Amino acid sequence: MGATTATGDRMDGTALTRADLPPVLVVGLGLIGGSVALDLRAAGATVRGVSRSETAVRRALEIGAIERGGTSLADEAPHAGVILVAAPVRTSIRLLSEAAASAPPGAVITDACSSKREVVAAMDRLPPTIRAVGGHPMAGKESSGIEAAEAGLFKGATWVLSESVRTDDEARRVGELLAEMCGAVPLWTDATEHDEAVAAISHLPLLTAAALVLAAEDSGSELMWRLAAGGFRDATRLAAGDEWMGSDLLLTNSHPLSEAHARFTARLEELAAAASAADEAALFRLLRRAAERRRSMYGWEQPR
């Protein structure tokens, strides 16, 4: 990765470029890891892969997401200058220390987890010979696994980066380069602020999508499922995601999620109370406020 000083600055004073990027090891070849690997390969990076599934490794090789790979992190990590861990949060926390134990000195370790505080705290505990920076590409879909990997998945998306005590200038630039090579826009954000934000706009929607499906199921009405159309499909899309990944991210961001849930419940009760009381003015005011915010973000989308 080029000679650096003790503080991580490059000896020649130049900024790290794509051409300088050392081999990247993607740990976890599912939807996110596979998609990152495809984009990095397309951008000219050398990419290796690790998965506990031999089938996933073979498929990643077949689709050109990686050039080499295997099922042993200890075997692959010594050959990488950048290691991106793309696994559920609690698994990623364990893999961070395993990667650091086998990575060459000066390697940069990053992640793709959708909660950041616990991950960054784990990075803080890594050996001082390792650089580390938290990451979260803000894109995905409900399907999972290497078969769902998609080149261009992150195009135009925000790629959150969060500093740890192991983040130096070179780690910062590596984090930004990975985002840029995947077509994403890097955004530096404090880990705590990130988790508070995603609790409201990512984790709470998962919670409510699952609750909507379960509430409909609890009704016992078969007619309900026959009538379910676009509105129900759109509102519950997140409930179709990987349940292991979903439970993991909810458990690792439980306090901010609890606060977001309290705000949501208060608004839900306010809307329901206005409808129950036939308070048309209050109901209209709340719905208009929500509609205007939604349209300002995404434009006008005709409900299906």
> What per-residue confidence (pLDDT) applies to 279?
97
Query: pLDDT tens digit string along 193-225?
Result: 999 999 999 999 999 999 999 999 999 899 999
For residue 277 the two structure tokens come to 């009381």
The SS3 of residue 17 is coil
Residues 6+ apart with CB under 8 A from 232: 212, 216
Q: How far apart are CA 19 and CA 216, in angstroms?
A: 53
- pLDDT given at position 12: 47
Torsion, Cα 116 118 120 121, to 10 degrees, reads: 160
Q: Does domain 194-297 have CATH number 1.10.3660.10?
A: yes
- pLDDT the model gives residue 20: 82
Residues of the chain with pLDDT under 50: 1-13
Beta carbons of 152 and 36 less than 8 angstroms apart: no
User: Are 110 and 82 within 8 A, CB to CB?
Assistant: yes
Number of H helices, E strands in the chain: 13, 8
Domain locations along the chain: 18-189, 194-297
pTM of the model: 0.86
**In CATH, which superfamily holds the domain spanning 18-189?**
NAD(P)-binding Rossmann-like Domain (3.40.50.720)
- Give pLDDT, residue 3: 38
With vertex at residue 95, the alpha carbon angle to CA 94 and CA 97, rounded to the nearest 5 degrees, is: 75
The two most distant CA atoms of the chain are separated, in Å, by 71
- Between the alpha carbon of residue 55 and those of residues 31, 68, 91, 186, the distances in Å are 14, 14, 20, 32
